[in-house]
Amino acid sequence: MNSREGANAGRLSGRRAIVTGAAGGIGAALARGIAREGATVACVDINEDGAKEVAASIGEVGGRAISVVADVTDLDQVERMHAAASDAFGGVDLLVANAGGSRGEMVPFLELESPLWHRMIDRNLTSVYYCGLVCARQMASNGGGAIVVTSSQLSEVARPGMGHYAAAKGGVRQLVKAMAVDLAPHGIRVNAMAPGPTLTPGNRAMFERPEVAATHQHTIPLGRVADPEEMVGAVVYLASEEASFTTGTTIFVDGGYTIL
């Protein structure tokens, strides 16, 4: 274990977590980061092989993780996901609702068709509702917990061709606030982390194109895109007791993208 991994080890010791969208990119980094801090982790994804690989990598360094295959846009599958994690760990007191993303589906508003709109809303907003509802009901009956949702810098700013995605992620931010108000009496905190442009296997080829890299240098004050590992600190903080008086907020991890 390197110094970065061990510096704050144990902040989530004893926590029983579900991380959705855990097979790659930001989700894989979050699952591994939460495990480094002592949580047991259910790595959930529609990609069975990817989820298994991330869970195995956690086990290889002494953590405890399972993989669960689920489509989080399907309530029945979300309930089965929660049951699998609860059976394995004895309950769930931390949900990291990370699954979602735009998948590069950029469409000008005048060309935006209903199926794509609903697909984007289901993937990014309805999935949070389903996962939050199922997990919060169990947390409320067991003394509380924490929910951290992945939002986006596009919940704050607009970009061409991304109206459907911005609407979904803006809805996530407002849902987080509403959940925080309703769930506070039950000892459940709800917050969000909003990434800026982040380099993942799925977008690496696009982000490394010279013209795209040049654009990021001008639109991101820190002059570069993020690594998925740079999302971990904010999520660990929001999940931990260090954030015991923090609920209903969104932390932007975007290199300053939203301040310009």
3-state secondary structure of 94: strand
The conformational region for residue 101 under phi > 0 = left, psi -120 to 50 = alpha, else beta, is left
**54 closest CA partner among 76, 35, 28, 79:** 28
How many residues belong to the chain? 260
The answer to whether 165 is a known catalytic residue is yes
CB atoms inside a 10 Å sphere around CB 1: 10
Q: Which of 129, 130, 165, 257 is catalytic?
A: 165
User: H/E element holding 109?
Assistant: none
3-state secondary structure of 147: strand
Query: CA-to-CA distance for 8 and 117, rounded, in angstroms?
Result: 41
Residues annotated as catalytic (active site), given as ranges:
165
